[in-house]
Structure 1
């Protein structure tokens, strides 16, 4: 009991307060929700996936969508360490069918991978991955 009172907590109120690593926390993202079009797109995507899942249940039986979900979960775990070459997640893209879709990131690239972005701390990335630390791997710019 006495040893617990002598320790200094690294986190205050469950919020990670490392201003040098993550910058000042912005309140705007807490107040303003997602764009209405973004939420509409997400709901349409989930409705489409539910319809596809139900069609597969009707055609192939209840075990087929469960096997596909298990494959998705397994393939989503394989990632390279942060700071190294970005993970392509090719197997997951093949299983989900997103390999056939052409998005803005295919043409304009991911902003996090640009040469002008802040460098990624590989040590912190591994700490987050192993559960030793909390917080975003990519530093936020306010």
Structure 2
């Protein structure tokens, strides 16, 4: 039996409390806010309408160029365990620099005392495909 065929709960990778911390019951029970799917679908619809308008005004190659730029800018990231990636270039080309989110007037959840920085070695192992354990949210 190869290692890939053994479930994660048997190997202990998924339940590694020393590496990922203790799991809480609240995080397993609480779902997403009821308005979140509506906001996401509205955002997708708005982006699709904007894409169609750009294709009508500038030609069909312009939205393809924008998609290519978005793919390129989404790949720039800092190494695992370092400061979180700001993705400023991606925010500039998508227009999300103008958005005013909750982290702008409340606090960024990463600044709280309960936020644990990720293990740099495990993050690089996951990114390079050496480890198949679950990635920390800051590596995704």
Q: CA 1:81–1:109 in structure 2 vs 1: closer, same or farther (change >3 Å)?
A: farther
Q: Quick check: 1:57–1:64 contact (8 Å CA) kept in 2? A: yes
1:82-113 CA distance string (max 9 Å, x none): 32112111100000000111111122232123
Tell me what 1:99 maps to.
97
CA distance in 1, matches of 2:14, 2:65: 41
For the pair 1:111 / 2:112, whether they are aligned, the reply is no
CA contact (8 A) 1:82 1:122 kept: yes
> Which of 80, 85, 88 in structure 1 is aligned with 2:78?
80
Residue number in structure 2 paired with 1:38? 36
Q: TM-score scaled by structure 1? A: 0.77
Question: Are 2:14 and 2:134, in contact at CA under 8 Å, matched by a contact in 1?
Answer: no
1:1-50 CA distance string (max 9 Å, x none): xxx5699947358x952332235667876776532200000000000001
Specify every segment of 5 or more residues in structure 1 that has no aligned partner in the other structure, as ranges.
Answer: none
Distance 1:6 1:24 in 2: 25
Shift of 1:136: 2.7
In the TM superposition, what is the alpha-carbon distance from 1:52 to its structure 2 partner?
Answer: 0.2
The equivalent residue for 1:17 is 14
Structure with the larger RCO, 1 or 2 (CA within 8 Å, 6+ apart)? 1
Aligned length: 136
Contact map agreement 1:80 1:86 (CA 8 A) in 2: yes
- Residue number in structure 2 paired with 1:135: 134
If each structure's helix is expressed as a fraction of its own residues, which one has the higher value? 2
